[in-house]
Structure 1
Amino acid sequence: MSGVAERNGPGAGERLARAVEAGWRPVALLAGCFAVWWIIAAAELVEPYLVPSPGATLDVLTGKADYLWQHTWVTTYETLLGFVIAVVVGVLAAVVMVYSSTVEKTLYPILLFAQVVPKIAIAPLFVVWLGFGITPKILIAVLIAFFPVVISMVTGLKAVDPEMLQLSATMGAKPWQTFAKIRFPASLPHLFSGLKVAVTLAVTGAVVGEFVGANEGLGYVILQANGNLDTPMLFAGLLVMSLIGVVLFVLVEIAEKLLLPWHASRRDTNVTTSY
């Protein structure tokens, strides 16, 4: 095309520079937060049983690593299973709602009502109904993660350019072909936005379920530490729980980058204009 010149993709050095540029600010903020934490603990501005020192928390993380890992794996398993179920059910529900206005008008108010009900309030009911096993925790994770998935998927499926749908119909494409080739690919950027929210909420859901009734998991660890005024263990549990959410968020971000290299938000600047 006249006036447009192709440019090779960024080299390794340029990608490293971009990574450093994108990452130094959050790293600096975290370092500043830990510095403030250390100063507060070192100056004894707050009693140690209220805010432990970073050193005491690190001692717990290293000295009781096996104990924390055991409970971390339980929470991670509950989170992942709840997230996967929420994604599958949420996507299917969104597709049905988009293709059936009757279902949408019937189901959407119910979904909204279920979302605004505090999950911590109904979690004890799940424990009574389903026992103290893993099922109530997974169910709460599903309920919390489900709403952002279905809403983002509905938005993505409805955001398709109508002219593309008209062109598809004009060319004689069947409904399932239009969905597979046009609607679903176009909805993926919206879906991944919802997935990044949902995966962090799934961690919260699993921990909330463990707060209500469990004998394992990070929620159980945090609850026991709080009851024993063991703030180093409490802070260690909170840090590990936060780390799970961050790691899962990053994994979804990586999946988005791999699956949607064509999307504008993921595209490297490979074209430069000469006018």
Structure 2
Amino acid sequence: MKKSRLIARQPDLMNRKTEKLIPWGTLIGLALIWEGSVRMTHAPQWLLPAPSRIIHTLWETRTLIGMHTAPTVIESLAGLAIAVLIGTLAASCMEWSPLARRALYPLLVATQTIPTIALAPLFAVWFGFGMGAKIVVIALVCFFPLAVSLADGLRSADRDALKVVRTMGATRLQLFQKVKLPSSLPSFFSGLRIAASHSVLGAVVAEWFGAERGLGIFLVRAAKSYAIDRVFAAIVVISALTLLSVWCVDRIARLVIPWHYRNRLSA
């Protein structure tokens, strides 16, 4: 019996491994096409550098890029942490009080109608050109997906489970702690993945409007000097940081809510 189950699971394992390799294969294929096109057309390096040139630039400027990467990472993490705290409080308030939901939800939506690139210079004027202004921008960018995802997750708690716990004499706080909060964790981590990706991009945009160090200012300086290979190198690092942040959130989610992933695999 066990042997037959193992044999049945082998194709599924192979399919999962193949699915993981497909994005890497696609990326390598596109890079090869890009490299070949640049070499065949003899495109100038200042216009469109080949992937091999970008890799060379990454290695050549690794110390400089590392120096600019550190502030961006710190700003992203700080802004994301503040957004998690405020977003959790806002979502909890909206779940606890219908009045708070009617008051706060329109404001949450309104924050998304204002582009980040318009807020960054305002915060620079109000809070200065230090790290604090950038963290505020990042927190605002990350706040919406976190708060809305968690609020929706809290509202979509299993009604049957709520009824059972109510019949056992649970208080409103116990209902929140024992049923609503655990059932909202998948939604929370979905919002956190989006917020984590936005945190890096928010930091880069905030650095455009005043910073001594950071990938955003590195990108601006490279573009102004027509060092397009450095521009692409910065884009590669920004993309890598974004993917890494999303991957870290996914790893944490698998540790915190393993039952959610087991249910998905068995479905």
How does the TM-score come out when normalised to structure 2? 0.92
Which of 59, 73, 77 aligns to 2:74? It is: 77
Matched, 1:232 2:232: no
Distance 1:240 1:154, change over 3 A: same
Matched, 1:116 2:116: no
**8 Å Cα contact 1:260/1:266 also seen in 2:** no
Matched, 1:141 2:153: no
CA distance in 2, matches of 1:154, 1:25: 35
Partner of 1:165: 162
CA distance in 2, matches of 1:20, 1:211: 40
Count of aligned positions = 264
Q: Percent identity?
A: 34
Structure number having the greater helix percentage: 2
CA distance in 2, matches of 1:8, 1:256: 28
Which of 227, 242, 250 aligns to 1:253? It is: 250
Matched, 1:63 2:57: no
**8 Å Cα contact 2:254/2:261 also seen in 1:** no
Q: Cα offset for 1:37? A: 1.7
Which deviates the most, 170-179 or 191-200? Answer: 170-179
User: Structure 2: which 5+ runs fail to align?
Assistant: none
**8 Å Cα contact 1:82/1:138 also seen in 2:** yes
CA distance in 1, matches of 2:115, 2:76: 18
**Counterpart amino acid of 2:67?**
Q
User: Structure 1: which 5+ runs fail to align?
Assistant: none
The one-character-per-residue Cα deviations of 1:208-243 (angstroms, maximum 9, x if unpaired) are: 100111111000110000000001110000000000
Which deviates the most, 232-241 or 102-111? Answer: 102-111
Which of 17, 34, 39 aligns to 2:36? It is: 39
Q: Cα offset for 1:201? A: 0.6
Which of 118, 123, 126 aligns to 2:123? It is: 126
Partner of 1:190: 187
Matched, 1:97 2:107: no
Q: Cα offset for 1:18? A: 5.5
Q: Cα offset for 1:46? A: 3.6
Residue 116 of structure 1: SS of its match in structure 2? coil
CA distance in 2, matches of 1:21, 1:256: 23
How does the TM-score come out when normalised to structure 1? 0.89
Where relative contact order (Cα < 8 A, 6+ residues apart) is larger, the structure is 1
**Counterpart amino acid of 1:235?**
F
Partner of 1:49: 46
Which of 71, 78, 85 aligns to 1:88? It is: 85
Partner of 2:148: 151
Distance 1:218 1:264, change over 3 A: closer
Q: Quote the RMSD (CA, aligned, Å).
A: 2.3
